[in-house]
Amino acid sequence: MIKHHRYLTRLYIALILCCFSVLNFAHASNGIDKNWQFKVYLDGDEIGFHNFSVVHNDEQHEVYSSAQFDVKFLFINAYSYRHDNVERWSNQCLDSINAVTDDNGDLYKVSGKAVDESFIISTLENMNEYSPCIKTFAYWDRDFLNETTLLNSQTGEMIEVSSEFIGNETIRHMGQDVDARHYRLRGDKLQIDLWYSADDHWLALESLTENGRVVRYEIP
């Protein structure tokens, strides 16, 4: 059971988050441009939340997010996950990132910044240098699906990925049936399904654990 719970975080290779709560988002210079407050479910049972906000400021924008999962087994909290992150972007490239994760007691910290012609990532274990224009798993921007490598904001690693368009579907969103475009993102031991509206607004997310349980993000 515990082995399965730890695998949840491997599926969320890019849960974008850092030390900002939703209440802090309104203090950004131009206010909140986009805001998502997802409830997170495991096999239909609610286990927590994952909130995102995107704030634009001239040619730059900032992304704030915060997630909290608690999985109970026989009334015992068998697994907990906390992940907080803030990202700053310029011209569709990641400019900086600061993320803190508590994965059931295991602590991860990732900080990174574009410097000259490279992007420097520091974790608790090491430091890595990447190309100057990289992206995280930026679910809030459908164009991230065009990338072949993405930054894991929990571990600081670059992950090879591919994506495909599955088709047009109707899903439940905020109490209504809405038309959606269904995409699938794949990587090593990773499959994430994403739904977007016709104007590319992010609607939902779903992923499978290695033993077939379903994790889903919805806005009821």
- Residue 168 reports pLDDT greater than 90: yes
Contact assessment for residue 160 and residue 153, using Cβ atoms and an 8 Å cutoff: no
Distance CA 217, CA 220 (A): 10
At residue 21 the predicted structure's pLDDT band, cuts being 50, 70 and 90, is very low
Tokens representing 16 are 């974008």
Pair 83, 154: CB distance under 8 Å: yes
Residue range 71-95, pLDDT digits in tens: 988 778 889 999 999 999 998 899 9
Which residue, chain included where needed, has tokens 């986009």? 34
* Alpha carbon 1 to chain centroid, angstroms: 24
Does the structure show a pLDDT above 50 at 33?
yes
pLDDT of residue 23: 30
Mean pLDDT confidence for 162-174? 97
d(C-alpha 165, C-alpha 180), whole Å:
11
How far is the C-alpha of 125 from the C-alpha of 34, rounded, in Å?
Answer: 34
Question: For the segment 201-216, what is each residue's pLDDT rounded down to a tens digit?
Answer: 999 999 987 778 899 9
DSSP state of 71: E
